[in-house]
Amino acid sequence: MSYFELKEPPRREDRLKACIAHGAALGEVAGRGLQCCQPGNERTFTQNSICLLLPALGTMNSIPNSVVLMHGGLGCGSSSHCGNAAVRGGNNQRWGVVKDGRWLSTGLTESDVISGGEPKLAQAIIEADRRYRPAVIFIVASCVPGIIGDDVESVVEQTQSEVVAKLLPVHCEGFKTKIWATSYDAIYHAIGRNLLTDNEKPAIEKEKTGITVNLMNVSSMGRVDELELERLLNELGISVNIFPVFADPDGMQRMTEADLSISTCPTHDDYMLTYLKEKYQVPFIIRHMPIGIENTGKWLQDVADFFGLGEQARALIAREEADLAAALAPLKPMFKGKKAFSSAGEFRALSTAILLAELGFEIAGIRAFHHDEFAEVEYEKLVRLVGKDLPLNIANCQPFEEANLLRKLKPDIFLGHMNGNSTAAKLGISTHVIYNSGLHYIGYKGAYELARRLYRQLRNPRFNTNLSQHAVLPYKESWYQQNPFKYIKTAGGDNE
């Protein structure tokens, strides 16, 4: 039975045996499926983390003509105040109109918790439909309904006939998973079940002109990055439809009609791409992330080979690489001998580290938010490039482990996820953000633009060095003498 027949998708701890805590050398992870921690109970001391609702909102708030109705406590989803900047920017970049995202909260109160929130949710759906007239309403279940037993699915079933908008229930109960990549499955689950209909053969077979692919984007990817990938694919004569972030809900069906689906982040897409293949016979490629010079070439070559365009791709890649090498030459002396540290979602952290190595940095260490099988190919590439001894930390944030590692490793530059750079900054390390949907990261253009920004950061790191003279991190001095992975419970015993 397909997962898509279930009411909610399985959590990734179960589906992929993904893990969130480990401290080791790179070589220990590369090349083997790692059972590195006890899922859900992985540390005896932890700092807080992210739940799946946050990345899910990144996609939901971007969908044109949608309303995101949070069912839960008043605060769940207030992170949208931050995501809204990307929604405004993204709308402007795509359609020339600045527009705020539209999110609502049922704001469950103490009495709702006691008597149940279902009637309030039903009313809220009807009111939201009347007031905003959206094409779709995401009905987001957060922790509270999950605990008090609100049946969000049946409320949706009962109210669907009373509203014009399509209702998409999305399960984001934060206490159910620590792997927030589960949120990508939750969104795709809702799209697959509600916005894709069975592919009836059209009465008149449309004349097929050329090749069209589904390019799967992620909410951390800005329009500028999409344009870079479109440019490269168009050069090979391949047309591109982009899903799911900022995609028109009425057009999602086109996902089922493409010749191929291409992932740009293997952590993101396997759930949906497998479904599209099984149900709609759309084949897919999920292997490389087009970040870094070699990786962009590999990503492009895979797609081209699939369509028998291998020769054209090789020529294109050679041209692109030559142009890029010439452009990078004046910047590279700045990077030589400098130590870099990369920290982000697993695939992104690894491919970024590979790019940094290509730019001439020495890689000092890597932190990845979780670990699953999709990244194994990336670990192997990195080991070939930088050797096996590099420190690796699998951590769902946990800045105390990071602070400890950084004090020991003393990198010159730290590349971290949004809201993950301040620890390094307060330690006086130059930083650069890995997630900013206004900036280039992807493809050849991304490699160059990132290099340009790193060059600029390294030219004058005074903001952070000054800060580090006076800012204090909230850790005991004695913590820095400890093993950074002291509190991780591994399957084979603790780290001490």
Residues of this chain, 136-155, that bind other proteins according to CB under 8 A = 143-144, 147-148
Scanning 176-264, the segments in alpha helix (DSSP H) are: 182-194, 223-235
Backbone angles phi, psi at 449, to 5 degrees: -65, -40
The answer to whether the beta carbons of residues 36 and 490 sit under 8 Å apart is yes
Element at 211 (helix H, strand E):
strand 211-216
CB of 493 to other proteins, least distance (A): 17
Is there binding between residue 175 and other proteins (CB under 8 A)? yes
The three-state secondary structure class of 347 is helix
d(CA 39, CA 140): 25
Residue closer to other proteins (CB basis): 374 or 487: 487
Is there binding between residue 51 and other proteins (CB under 8 A)? yes
Comparing C-alpha atoms, which of 87, 94, 157, 88 is closest to residue 121?
157
Residue closer to other proteins (CB basis): 99 or 319: 99
- Determine the size of the site formed for other proteins (CB under 8 A): 76
> Which residues in the 309-328 window bind other proteins by CB under 8 A?
none
Residue closer to other proteins (CB basis): 131 or 456: 131
Find the Cα–Cα–Cα–Cα dihedral 173, 247, 298, 323, rounded to 10°: -130
Residue of 44, 92, 158, 483 that binds other proteins (CB under 8 A): 44
The three-state secondary structure class of 41 is coil
> Which residues in the 226-265 window bind other proteins by CB under 8 A?
none
Q: Beta strands 493-494 and 489-490: pairing type?
A: antiparallel
Is there binding between residue 466 and other proteins (CB under 8 A)? no
Residue closer to other proteins (CB basis): 48 or 281: 48
Q: Which parts of 72-153 are beta strand (E)?
A: 103-105, 136-141
Q: Beta strands 413-416 and 430-433: pairing type?
A: parallel
Residue of 135, 153, 475, 495 that binds other proteins (CB under 8 A): 475
Find the Cα–Cα–Cα–Cα dihedral 316, 317, 322, 325, rounded to 10°: 140
Residue of 14, 127, 162, 311 that binds other proteins (CB under 8 A): 127
CB of 193 to other proteins, least distance (A): 23
Residue closer to other proteins (CB basis): 72 or 443: 72
Residue closer to other proteins (CB basis): 41 or 234: 41
The full length of the chain comes to 496
Residue closer to other proteins (CB basis): 151 or 305: 151
CB of 175 to other proteins, least distance (A): 4
Peptide bond connecting 330 to the previous residue in cis, omega within 30 degrees of 0: no
CB of 400 to other proteins, least distance (A): 6
Is there binding between residue 105 and other proteins (CB under 8 A)? yes
Residue of 52, 186, 224, 334 that binds other proteins (CB under 8 A): 52
Q: What is the CA radius of gyration of the chain?
A: 23
> Which residues in the 367-426 window bind other proteins by CB under 8 A?
396-400, 418-420, 422-423
d(CA 338, CA 36): 31
- Bin 210: left if φ > 0, else alpha if -120 < ψ < 50, else beta: left
The three-state secondary structure class of 339 is strand
Backbone angles phi, psi at 416, to 5 degrees: -130, 160
CB of 436 to other proteins, least distance (A): 12
Residue of 2, 92, 109, 115 that binds other proteins (CB under 8 A): 109
Residue of 72, 134, 222, 443 that binds other proteins (CB under 8 A): 72
The span of 69-77, 215-223, 268-276, 296-304 binding other proteins (CB under 8 A) equals 69-77
Pattern 73-102, other proteins, x by CB under 8 A: xxxxxxxxxxxxx--------------x-x
Is there binding between residue 301 and other proteins (CB under 8 A)? no
The answer to whether the beta carbons of residues 297 and 324 sit under 8 Å apart is no
* Cβ neighbours around 197 below 10 Å, total: 9
Residue of 31, 40, 333, 438 that binds other proteins (CB under 8 A): 40
CB of 74 to other proteins, least distance (A): 4
CB of 124 to other proteins, least distance (A): 4
CB of 395 to other proteins, least distance (A): 11
> Which residues in the 264-283 window bind other proteins by CB under 8 A?
none
Backbone angles phi, psi at 70, to 5 degrees: -85, 125
Residue of 178, 288, 381, 440 that binds other proteins (CB under 8 A): 178
